[in-house]
Amino acid sequence: MRVGVVFPQQAIGDDPGMIRDFALVAEELGFAHLLAYDHVLGAVHSDRPTPFEGPYDETFAFHEPFVLYGFLAAQTSRIELATGVIVLSQRQTALAAKQAAQIQLLSQGRLRLGIGTGWNYVEYEALGVSWAARGARLEEQIGLMRRLWSEPVIDFTGRFHRIDRAGILPLPPTPIPIWMGGYSEAQQDRVARIGDGFIWNQPSSKAYRGFDIMRTRAAEVGRDPDTIGFEVVIAGDDPLAEVERWAAAGGTHATLHALGERAALLDGLRVLADQVGGFLDAS
């Protein structure tokens, strides 16, 4: 099982040197991947007719994952650059495909693209995209992006997109895995049918049940269930027991949180490496 670390969007601050050092130390310690969260906008939560489901508001800072990974592709050489998750439904599909292809090129094949529909409807409104159609739009985006990544010119007409004999050269040098995150049964079904893996944000009973749900559904549609990856994000100051439990259940990836803020995060990485060192060696 591959063990990585969350890129600490809130705690790391805005010093480019600190961002670089966090990635380099994680790579040197043997972590398999970084996992970066995504929000374009933070919105005020109070006085909303429909309450938000997620925790982040206007006080939380987020480095933009595509730009961040363009920077870190040049600073690192081995560590995988994963998004967990890009809110793809609210983004322009061809542009996101172009950005992902460029990171895959610059990192020499180290991008793993985690995608989802998100929970912040204010972001959708600000970006000019329908909130109500986000699930259907995401499904169409997956097939369209894969075509854009593999064909120099495509002609596509769908419910949400029209591309008239155009392409995004340069194409990525290797396929870009598409993972998904969320909670819904619809998202689990989508992964079983067309995704490469699923990301859970905590090791809940629902996450463990997801193994059987997605494997069964994958077999029903003629896919090999063993080709689907399963990732969980594990919090806490002693993660080893949960990492071992996830691995025993069939998990392929686990992602941990380094404790501390700014420079102290580097010590937090070293503590994590000591706690789960055997898994890092296996990575």
DSSP 175-236: PPPEEEE-S-HHHHHHHHHH-SEEEESS--HHHHHHHHHHHHHHHHTT--GGG-EEEEEE-S
CB–CB of 62/39 below 8 Å? yes
DSSP H or E stretch at residue 86: strand 86-87
Domains: count for the chain: 1
For the chain, give the mean pLDDT: 96
Q: What is the pLDDT of residue 182?
A: 86
CB–CB of 87/116 below 8 Å? yes
CB–CB of 225/197 below 8 Å? no
pTM score of the predicted model: 0.96
Strand partners of residue 3: 254
Q: What is the pLDDT of residue 224?
A: 97
Q: What is the pLDDT of residue 58?
A: 96
The pLDDT tens digits for 225-248 are 999 999 999 998 889 999 999 999
164: containing domain: 2-282
Task: Give the ranges where the chain is alpha helix by DSSP (H).
Answer: 16-29, 65-75, 93-106, 121-127, 134-150, 185-194, 205-220, 240-249, 264-275, 277-282
DSSP H or E stretch at residue 6: strand 2-6
Query: Distance (Å, rounded) from C-alpha 42 to C-alpha 120?
Result: 8
Q: What is the pLDDT of residue 282?
A: 52
Spans of the chain, pLDDT less than 70: 281-283
CATH label of the domain that carries residue 184 = 3.20.20.30
CB–CB of 37/233 below 8 Å? no
- C-alpha distances (whole Å) from 177 to each of 111, 129, 138 are 8, 25, 15
Long-range CB contact pairs, 260-269, < 8 A, 24+: 260/11, 261/11, 261/12, 261/13, 262/11, 262/12, 262/13, 262/15, 262/18, 263/18, 265/8, 265/11, 265/12, 265/18, 265/22, 266/21, 266/22, 266/25, 269/5, 269/22, 269/25, 269/26, 269/29, 269/31
